[in-house]
Chains A and B, each alone.
Chain A
Amino acid sequence: MSPTPQSPPPNSAAPTAREEILARIRRSTSGHARPAAEVDAVSRDYLTAHVHDGLIDLLAENLADYRAKVHRCTRAEIPGVVAKLLSEQGDRSVAVPDGLPEAWLEELRAPEAGVTLVPDSAALTATDLDAVDAVVSGCALAIAETGTIVLDAGPGQGRRMLTLVPDHHICVVRCPEQVVASVPQAMPLLDPGRPQTWIAGPSATSDIELDRVEGVHGPRRLDVILIEGEAG
């Protein structure tokens, strides 16, 4: 066990909060049956997945149900779809995470596209990003049953603030290799040491008379591009 920040000062006789809380817990649980910690003994009488086929259709359906806009295309069509989604929204600048496949933004690189690409860097602050219209990212994986996309700051996803501050998020999911059926299937594929953001639809609130409103603080528009076809 590593030393704790609250180990008692050398001359102090009074118990620290840590010692006292641990002692209280031990007193409170000592009278109870207390076998050794047995996490594996927890009965997991639930399904590891509720669906097995048609995952990509289901993902598309559930994403749309939570008001993400879903687009399906082949690998070759991505640059065109990205450019179209940006121009639809009138976006003039796009944040680009490290490791995003260059091909995805191909059409934007032409000067006549009129879009400024803003590469991610440590110098880019939240205030800078507040002036950026959109962000294009990949993801770690997507969960069909819940219509959820998981970002884990891996290549092509960038720092967490990148997909948070701009108002428009375009997220690309490689199908079928990045799609799993369920939350239980997703957990073992994700590294808890990496910061994660799970996204199900755009930012939303129902705080005012339970009327759902999109986009209070996060991106108000979420476009998800599901790419299918041979890997490339």
Chain B
Amino acid sequence: MSGTYVGMPSFPDAAHRATRDKQLRANLTRATHTIRDKRARAVAELEDWEGLRQAGKAIKDETLAHLDDYLLQLEAKVTEAGGIVHWARDADEANRIVTELIRATGQTEVVKVKSMATQEIGLNEHLAAEGISAYETDLAELIVQLGDDLPSHILVPAIHKNRTEIRDIFNRAMGHWGRPAPEGLTDTPADLAEAARLHLREKFLRAKVAVSGANFMVAETGTLVVLESEGNGRMCLTLPETLISVVGIEKIVPTWRDLEVFLQLLPRSSTAERMNPYTTTWTGVRDGDGPKQFHLVLLDNGRTQTLADEVGRQALRCIRCSACLNVCPVYERAGGHAYGSAYPGPIGAILTPQLRGIATDLDRSLPYASSLCGACFEACPVAIDIPEVLVHLRAKVTEDAKEHGGHRLERTAMRAATYAMTHPAAYRTAEAAAVRARKLIPKKVPFGAGKAWTETRDLPELPPQTFRQWWKETHR
């Protein structure tokens, strides 16, 4: 069940396929533009948005600068409130801890709240290999899981599927996992949601163990916070006897008061709502209300190495709102899967290669999955300068390539450019030659590394005259 990002091709290859998928592009364009426009209106309602944004940035920077202190404070508070804290250096360790915790309950089924952290570590696949069924309960995650697919968007993971595709998935797969889809299921969203409600309710009612992530953890009080819309989060966080939350170590805020900033920034940036329908907060365990056992698994998995990079560490401020995806012209065309990790879009392009390192072609290609237009920085509610980090990471990729013999095409191109830029006469000649030859220049580069680039894009058209010629004519 449900695929994995491991072994994904590099971004240009995956994007090449995605951009040819007309249905996908239509779904994505409609989705991103709708959310984008709604979000602009929701943000415009708050005249102090920039102040909130700067405060959000400052709180997260403070957290990152003293992350060890805040983690220890959090651990003490969670423990005091009856929770048990575990630490995981990497994905394997986190998966092992969660598996052992589930085993200890004697259960072989768990319900899950949508969580980027468990997506990142491939928890579901790991549990399946260990004989434990993990049921996703967010409607979109359910669609993805039943369709044996991968999420393509942080907020709306099944946005690449339309209603008819979803109906077909429900008809085909629900019966294998529990209550089958109702007879004669139509493809109206209300009917589909009802089918999911019936299918999942029996799972909620019998579940003894739930696995979640968290949007925030409050160091001062040991409180965890989950924001959601459907109520599946409330179900998982409240009904089972055991709750296991896997949370990245960067998700801390120092104080309870700090939530006032993020509870304003996140819903408006993410779903363009003044407030999401449901927010659940819990501190340890509470007699007679909610789970009797609470385990918090604090996940590093590349976060500390990201923290070490003074430019790149700002990616750890991310609150997973997905605003950057919806404004990104590259994401809109390439789709979420092309980024090859749980984190698609601009944030994925800077977060993934930092968490995983740049050992694979995919991870090396991610910093180039951008036009550097800057829209993502504008949209980011915690002011992550994504273009700055992209450029920084490109430099690292180049540096790394140099150490390993260099990137042939890039080296040649840069050498030629350096020569032309430092020899004005040569530059003028080349420019003029290009203009004269413009009719002969193909839209695609048919060979070499330039081929990959132009397979998914047309080369820009050359203008009929050079800038110098135009200047001479108009400024006599």
Contact = CB atoms under 8 A, between A and B. Distances in A.
Interface of A: 1-2, 4-6, 16-18, 20-22, 24-29, 31-34, 37-39, 41-47, 50, 62, 66, 122, 126-127, 130, 143, 145-148, 153, 159-161, 164, 183-184, 186-188, 192-211, 213, 215-219
Contacts of B204: 126, 217
Contacts of A147: 274-275
Given A24-B300, A183-B263, A213-B193, A46 B275 contact: no
Nearest to A37: B66
Interface in B212-255: 218, 221, 223, 229-232, 234-235, 238-239, 249, 254-255
A198 B275 contact: yes
B277 A28 contact: no
Contacts of B66: 29, 34, 37
A21 B89 CA distance: 7
Contact of B62 (A37, A194, A208): A37
Given A29-B66, A200-B275, 11 more contacts: A26-B68, A32-B65, A41-B62, A44-B261, A47-B48, A50-B45, A161-B238, A187-B257, A193-B283, A207-B158, A217-B200
B196 A216 contact: yes
A223 B317 CA distance: 37
Contacts of A205: 139-140, 193, 229-230
B382 interface: no
Interface of B: 27, 30-31, 34-35, 45-48, 51-52, 54-55, 58-59, 62, 64-72, 75-76, 79-81, 84-89, 93, 137-140, 143, 156-159, 162-163, 166, 189-190, 192-193, 196-197, 200-201, 204-205, 218, 221, 223, 229-232, 234-235, 238-239, 249, 254-261, 263-264, 267, 271, 273-283, 286, 288-290, 298, 300, 304-305, 307-308, 310, 313
Nearest to B240: A126
A200 B304 contact: no
B239 to A, nearest CB: 5
Contacts of B229: 203-206
B51 A215 contact: no
Contact of A192 (B137, B139, B281): B281
B164 to A, nearest CB: 10
B193 A208 contact: yes
A47 B261 CA distance: 10
A22 B71 contact: yes
